[in-house]
Structures are given as structure tokens and as C-alpha cells.
């Protein structure tokens, strides 16, 4: 299973709202992630930096393309603009993929 990690920035003072929105994540957003083959998804924060990690059951390329073509993901990204800033990858249109430099299996 391919691994995928991304990062973004939390807007100052928006942590509580960011957490609230994820506690109340839309069922249709969860469904899109599952249809994209995304599993074991977690989001971490340190200071104002947000890090996401997930595993791609159908491959990272498929997951990125599926999300890029989803109107639900578009709405979610618009909904989250006032609490976080994420520069999307210009090639894939998805979260900016971090490069793995080491992994302990």
C-alpha cells in the first residue's frame, strides 16, 4: 500500500474551529476518501503546521486524481479556507505530497 503525507498551515487562532470541523466531517467527504482508496488517515499538528498521513489502497496517483475530480472535495477545500492554508500541487491538484526520506517497516 502506497503511503502519502502532506502539510499545510493553520491560520492563527483557528485550532478549535479546525478540530470542530473534523469532528463534524461531512459523511459525503468520508465517502469520497474511502472511494479514493484512502485508509489509515490521520492529521497531526505542531504549532501552526498541520501534517496529514494516509495510505493509498489504489495508489497515490489514483487517490490524487479521484480527489481532484470530486465536487465534494472542492466544497470541503473552500469550507476550510478560513481556518487553514494549503498550497495545492499544481500538477496533481491534490495536497502537496511530502517526500519520504526514511521508513521503518
Active site residue 22: yes
Q: What rounded mean pLDDT belongs to the chain?
A: 94
**Predicted pLDDT of residue 58:** 97
Band of pLDDT at residue 94, cut at 50, 70 and 90: confident
Distance between CA 97 and CA 16 in Å, rounded? 25
What domains are there in the chain, each with its CATH number? 2-85 (3.30.70.100)
Q: Is the pLDDT of residue 76 over 80?
A: yes
Model pTM score: 0.90
Cα angle at 39 between 84 and 27, to 5 degrees? Answer: 65
Supply the pLDDT for residue 100: 92
Residue 10 has pLDDT above 80, yes or no: yes
Residues whose CB is less than 8 angstroms from the CB of residue 26 and which lie 6 or more positions away in sequence, other chains included: 72, 76
Of 20, 22, 34, 81, the active-site residue reads 22
Q: What is the mean pLDDT of residues 2-13?
A: 96
Amino acid at each position: 500500500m502506497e503511503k502519502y503525507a502532506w502539510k499545510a498551515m493553520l491560520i492563527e487562532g483557528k485550532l478549535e474551529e479546525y478540530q470542530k470541523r473534523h469532528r463534524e466531517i461531512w459523511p459525503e467527504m468520508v465517502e469520497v476518501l474511502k472511494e479514493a482508496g484512502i485508509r489509515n488517515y490521520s492529521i497531526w499538528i505542531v504549532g501552526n503546521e498541520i501534517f496529514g498521513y494516509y495510505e493509498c489502497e489504489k495508489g497515490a496517483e489514483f487517490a490524487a486524481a479521484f480527489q481532484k475530480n470530486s465536487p465534494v472535495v472542492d466544497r470541503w477545500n473552500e469550507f476550510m479556507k478560513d481556518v487553514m492554508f494549503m498550497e495545492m500541487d499544481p500538477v496533481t491538484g491534490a495536497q502537496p505530497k511530502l517526500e519520504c526520506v526514511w521508513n521503518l517497516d
